Amino acid sequence: MNLRLLRWALPAALLALAAGIQTATSRIGRAAESPYPIGRTIRHSDGLAKLARAGAGWRSDVIPADVPLELPLRPGQTVGGVLAELDLEPHDVTAIVAELAGHADLRRLKPQDGYAVVYRPGSDEVAAFELTIASEGVARVERAAVGWSGSWRDFVQRTETTVIDGRLRGALETSIERAGGDARLAVLMSDVFQWDLDFNRDLRIDDRFEIVYQRVFIDGSYSGPGEILAVRYTNLGKTLEAYRFGDSPAYYDAEGRPLRKMFLRSPMRYSRITSRYSNRRFHPVLKRYRPHHGVDYGAPVGTPVRVTSNGVVTFAGWDGGGGRTVKVRHPNGYMTAYLHLSRFAKGVSSGRRVSQGQTIGYVGSTGLATGPHLDYRVQKHGRWIDPLSIKSVPAEPIPVESLDRFTAWRDELRASLASGEPTDTVMAWSRGQAPEPAEAAAGGSRIESAGS
């Protein structure tokens, strides 16, 4: 009886196995023919980036060196918008904004102000949110047994302006420290040059950097770096210059041209390129050559992904081999795509407008991926192009009527870089004893952030 059953069952099992193999082969074949072939990646230890304010500056809980340590407010961004991007529920956002509003005027936030997020250990649940008001204090809101509770701590803040210069000898952070600066300047520099210099791939040993920046002291103790006022970076024989000018603040080159451009050079501040754009890349599963119309950035799961240009989300969902994917339409026929995300940022959906630098999702390994990474792609008029080849169009230059003020301020900063010491004019402005050097500059709007 058992023998007869076995003779019947064995062929059925073999047929089922063959069908399964055929289905799997067909699925892999379809994936290979799709615009989303599997990307080779470097595996990193998984973990979400967690930030918290320590006694002097910032500390990281579960965070690799290639994730930024600061979360700056963008011009026009609201505190409510920041909280929503942290995936907090709407009722939590409303409660936190109400607590913060009891201690600070959220409509008058300035570029010097900042914020920090504290997470529960081993979790992605927000435990506390801190808003630092420059020269005044810190408003802190903590998760309570029921709802949220807020508190305020006064402090005395002062700044000192200093100048450093050095050479790249290994990691940028350690090179800055060797020059006598704060390692966190590396993140600030990447923000200044984010349209012209890809800190993931462009830096070279023996590059030179010169920086005029502010050091912030709270209650007499060093807290961290403040604003960069000027920076020069020499890379492959070419010197990039950036000078802070205006209330925003904005950065301009030596001729008064804005550094801000249509596209960021990279969708993440720090990561590693693990695979480049190619029309003939070896497929790691099918063992044959297929096109790869994007650039892969290896990074831990949960690393924030930034949209590289202003635009409108046209798709946010599951897209075959690309897994969780966001597609954004931009002016002049451009479209960008962000593949293999672990999740989408709060509020990112089809039809929503997004602004350059806004977090739209987080690195993952969904779809056909061999490990956590971002596959970043760009189309122009419906055809895939190499994202690393984009030549961005700059924003509007400084108005003619403000050029004299910019030139005078640039020369003061250049003199500071040349001498290694801030000039009297730069020192006076940093101490608040001189007028804002660009108070008449057009387009320099102060951050006016409301609640939600």
Phi-psi group of 332: left, alpha or beta (phi > 0 → left; psi -120 to 50 → alpha; rest → beta): left
DSSP-derived secondary structure for 192-246: HTTTT--TTT---TT-EEEEEEEEEEETTEEEEEEEEEEEEEEETTEEEEEEEET
In the predicted model, what is the mean pLDDT of residues 219-231? 89
Q: Which residue has the higher pLDDT, 271 or 213?
A: 213
Question: In the structure, what pLDDT confidence band is assigned to residue 76 with cuts at 50, 70 and 90?
Answer: low
The torsion angles phi and psi of 10, rounded to 5 degrees, stand at -60, -50
The predicted pLDDT at position 419 comes to 94
Q: Which residue has the higher pLDDT, 401 or 451?
A: 401
Type of residue numbered 221: S
Closest among 377, 258, 263 to 321, alpha carbons compared: 377
Range of weakest confidence among 219-233, 242-256, 311-325:
242-256
Contact assessment for residue 152 and residue 137, using Cβ atoms and an 8 Å cutoff: yes
Per the confidence metrics, is the pTM higher than 0.75? no
Element (H, E) at 275: strand 272-275
Q: Which residue has the higher pLDDT, 419 or 86?
A: 419
In the predicted model, what is the mean pLDDT of residues 94-107? 90
Closest among 89, 147, 23 to 346, alpha carbons compared: 89
Give 108-127 pLDDT, tens digit per residue. 887 667 788 887 776 667 88
d(CA 156, CA 235): 39
Tokens in use for 12? 């059925």
In the predicted model, what is the mean pLDDT of residues 178-188? 91
Range of weakest confidence among 333-337, 360-364, 431-435:
431-435
- pLDDT over 50 (residue 446): no
d(CA 398, CA 214): 24
Tokens in use for 389? 């080849």
Tokens in use for 169? 């000898």
Range of weakest confidence among 165-179, 213-227, 286-300, 317-331:
286-300
Closest among 295, 71, 280 to 198, alpha carbons compared: 295
d(CA 12, CA 58): 63
Q: 211: burial class by Cβ within 10 Å (0-12, 13-18, 19+)?
A: buried
Type of residue numbered 255: E
- pLDDT over 90 (residue 430): no
Give the sheet arrangement for strand 250-252, strand by strand.
Answer: 157-167, 208-218, 221-235, 238-245, 250-252
Domains, the chain, ranges and CATH?
51-154 (3.10.450.350), 157-260+395-430 (3.10.450.350), 272-389 (2.70.70.10)
The predicted pLDDT at position 412 comes to 94
- pLDDT over 70 (residue 100): yes
d(CA 269, CA 369): 22
Range of weakest confidence among 8-22, 53-67, 242-256, 371-385:
53-67
The predicted pLDDT at position 16 comes to 67
- pLDDT above 70 as % of the chain: 72
Q: Which residues of 265-282 are buried (b: 16+ CB within 10 A; e: fewer)?
A: bbbbbbbbbbbebbeebe
Question: In the structure, what pLDDT confidence band is assigned to residue 352 with cuts at 50, 70 and 90?
Answer: very high
The predicted pLDDT at position 50 comes to 36
Phi-psi group of 224: left, alpha or beta (phi > 0 → left; psi -120 to 50 → alpha; rest → beta): left
d(CA 55, CA 46): 27
Secondary structure tally for the chain: helices H, strands E: 7, 23
The predicted pLDDT at position 23 comes to 52
Rg of the chain, C-alpha, whole Å: 25
In the predicted model, what is the mean pLDDT of residues 339-344? 94
In the predicted model, what is the mean pLDDT of residues 224-238? 91
The predicted pLDDT at position 156 comes to 83
In the predicted model, what is the mean pLDDT of residues 30-41? 32
- pLDDT over 90 (residue 451): no
Q: In Å, how far are 97, 146, 149, 389 from 103, measured between CA atoms? A: 10, 20, 12, 47
Tokens 């909280």 sit on residue: 83
Q: Which residues pair with 377 in a beta bridge?
A: 337
DSSP state of 38: P
Q: 5: burial class by Cβ within 10 Å (0-12, 13-18, 19+)?
A: exposed
Question: In the structure, what pLDDT confidence band is assigned to residue 260 with cuts at 50, 70 and 90?
Answer: confident
In the predicted model, what is the mean pLDDT of residues 432-440? 52
Q: Which residue has the higher pLDDT, 426 or 33?
A: 426
In the predicted model, what is the mean pLDDT of residues 326-337? 92
The predicted pLDDT at position 414 comes to 95
- In sequence order, what are the residues at sequence separation of 6 or more whose Cβ sits closer than 8 angstroms to the Cβ of residue 137? 103, 152, 153, 154, 155
Contact assessment for residue 18 and residue 30, using Cβ atoms and an 8 Å cutoff: no
